């Protein structure tokens, strides 16, 4: 979800706790102020990544109250308000967050629970929360120094300003967080191979990330989509970056960043046959007006299916072959709804999504398709909603259209002839 723009500015470093638990025995403890920590960490980061700091960032302390003030400020910026309002409406209509959940206060409390420290690309300062255990603060500083170095060679602030392209933003953040997590652990292990020299290897890292996050009460109570999108940049991003280091040693990932979560999830889509996502313009809508539009990407498409089917294998199968998407939060004369178009690599994969998404609708609303349903068009009516799934072609590409509107509203919202697809 593109509220990650806010999550990145207020860096969530619960993974610092798990890395301390995993690696502390192999870490040399240091005495002295954080300036000493920075002086030791900087050359190790430079050697591992292959870039020099133009200048190390300044470090300042922040109270819990100041951290909360910082977080709330991010949420009150006009663009953040627009994104949160639009995405809250979209995720409620897709049924992946409860209708009663208010994202802004919930995310503010969640971030306040998790933040140990953060690098702010606007001020170029690395902030550490007062009262943080020294070992955790040390790890946090190493992690955030990687972000500070990234910011000196790519504009993190400009990445955070990507608009209405949630999937691309998610992929970029996976690289930034993934590199920071990987290099942080590698440095603590003396620059050695994590998978070989860390007890339990990479699988243990995966488990520890989830265990660490789940130990936090607000996170543990969060809807699945929030939990998974919060973990994704650290976990899947670190796996992607490990793959990158092995396949392209002594090169910089910043020169050819992944453009989609598909490329993060499936290494072949980035390293073997670069599969650029299809960009979707829905064009003029019929029988409704749009109030917000964005995309989900393969990762959140899978989460949509998993939320309603509670079957990981089916969710993965249904999202495989994703090649692009766009949704619009809409207003109809009967009330609000959502219209969503997905593009697929082949007719077979479009057909699988059509079928599995139909199962998700049935389980979510506990309804069956109405009489006359076919392999390309299914309508569902129940729980005061009208839902329609349509398989079609746009410019020779297989697409699936999902529309959810109040009962009585016209479900012909997206017109295939109006849709434009580009690479």
| Domain boundaries defined on the chain | 4-268, 279-422
Tens of pLDDT along the chain (423 residues) come to 444 444 443 344 334 333 433 333 333 333 334 888 888 899 999 998 999 999 988 899 999 889 888 888 888 888 889 999 999 999 999 999 999 999 999 998 998 888 889 999 889 999 999 988 888 888 899 999 999 999 999 876 667 667 789 999 999 999 999 999 999 888 877 765 555 455 555 666 667 666 666 668 898 889 999 999 999 999 899 999 999 999 999 899 998 899 999 999 999 999 999 999 999 999 999 999 999 999 999 999 999 999 999 999 999 999 999 999 999 999 999 999 999 999 999 999 999 999 999 999 999 999 999 988 899 999 999 999 999 999 999 999 999 999 999 999 999 999 999 999 998
Q: What is the pLDDT of residue 163?
A: 76
Distance between start and end Cα atoms, the chain:
22
Fold held by 279-422: Protein Transport Mog1p; Chain A (3.40.1000)
Q: What is the pLDDT of residue 29?
A: 39
Q: Cβ distance 77 to 5 under 8 Å?
A: no
How far from 191 is each of 33, 49, 207, 243, 325, CA to CA, in Å? 24, 11, 22, 16, 40
Give the Cα separation of 290 and 328 in Å (integer): 6
| Size of the chain, expressed as the number of residues it contains | 423
Q: What is the pLDDT of residue 33?
A: 45
Tell me the sheet residues that pair with 292: 329
Q: What is the pLDDT of residue 214?
A: 61
**Block residue for tokens 């652990």:** 185
Q: Cβ distance 156 to 121 under 8 Å?
A: yes
Query: CB-based contacts of 195: which residues, under 8 Å, 6+ apart?
Result: 201, 202, 242
Query: CB-based contacts of 151: which residues, under 8 Å, 6+ apart?
Result: 119, 121, 124, 157
Give the Cα separation of 126 and 74 in Å (integer): 17
Q: What is the pLDDT of residue 8?
A: 41
Percent helix, strand and coil across the chain, each rounded to 5? 55, 15, 30
């Amino acid at each position: 979800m593109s509220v990650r723009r806010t999550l990145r500015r207020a860096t969530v470093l619960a993974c610092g706790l798990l890395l301390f638990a995993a690696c502390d025995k192999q870490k040399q403890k240091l005495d002295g102020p954080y300036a000493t920590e920075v002086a030791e960490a900087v050359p190790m980061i430079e050697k591992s990544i292959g870039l020099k700091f133009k200048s190390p960032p300044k470090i300042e302390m922040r109270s819990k109250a100041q951290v909360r003030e910082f977080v709330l400020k991010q949420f009150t910026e006009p663009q953040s308000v627009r994104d949160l309002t639009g995405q809250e409406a979209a995720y409620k209509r897709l049924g992946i967050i409860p209708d009663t959940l208010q994202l802004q206060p919930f995310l503010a409390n969640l971030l306040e629970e998790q933040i140990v420290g953060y690098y702010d690309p606007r001020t170029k300062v690395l902030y550490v929360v007062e009262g943080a255990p020294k070992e955790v603060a040390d790890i946090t500083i190493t992690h955030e120094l990687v972000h500070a170095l990234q910011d000196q060679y790519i504009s993190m602030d400009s990445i955070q300003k990507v608009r209405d392209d949630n999937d691309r933003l998610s992929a970029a953040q996976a690289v930034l967080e993934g590199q920071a997590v990987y290099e942080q652990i590698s440095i603590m292990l003396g620059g050695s191979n994590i998978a070989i020299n860390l007890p339990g290897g990479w699988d243990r890292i995966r488990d520890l990330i989830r265990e660490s996050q789940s130990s936090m009460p607000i996170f543990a109570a969060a809807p699945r989509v929030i939990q998974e999108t919060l973990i994704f940049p650290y976990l899947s991003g670190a796996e992607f970056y490990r793959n990158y280091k092995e396949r392209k040693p002594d090169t910089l990932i910043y020169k050819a960043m992944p453009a989609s979560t598909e490329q993060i999830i499936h290494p072949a889509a980035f390293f073997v046959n670069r599969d650029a996502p299809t960009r979707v313009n829905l064009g003029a809508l019929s029988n409704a007006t749009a109030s917000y539009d964005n995309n989900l990407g393969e990762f959140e498409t899978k989460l949509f299916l998993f939320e309603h089917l509670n079957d990981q294998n089916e969710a993965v199968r249904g999202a495989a072959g994703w090649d692009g998407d766009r949704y619009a939060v809409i207003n109809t004369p009967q009330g609000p709804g959502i219209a969503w178009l997905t593009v697929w690599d082949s007719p077979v994969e479009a057909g699988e999504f059509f079928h599995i998404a139909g199962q998700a609708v049935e389980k979510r609303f506990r309804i069956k398709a109405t009489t006359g349903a076919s392999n390309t068009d299914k309508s569902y009516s129940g729980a005061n909603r009208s839902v329609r799934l349509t398989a079609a072609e746009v410019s020779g590409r297989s697409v699936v259209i999902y529309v959810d509107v109040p009962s009585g509203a016209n479900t012909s919202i997206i017109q295939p002839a109006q849709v434009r697809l580009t690479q």
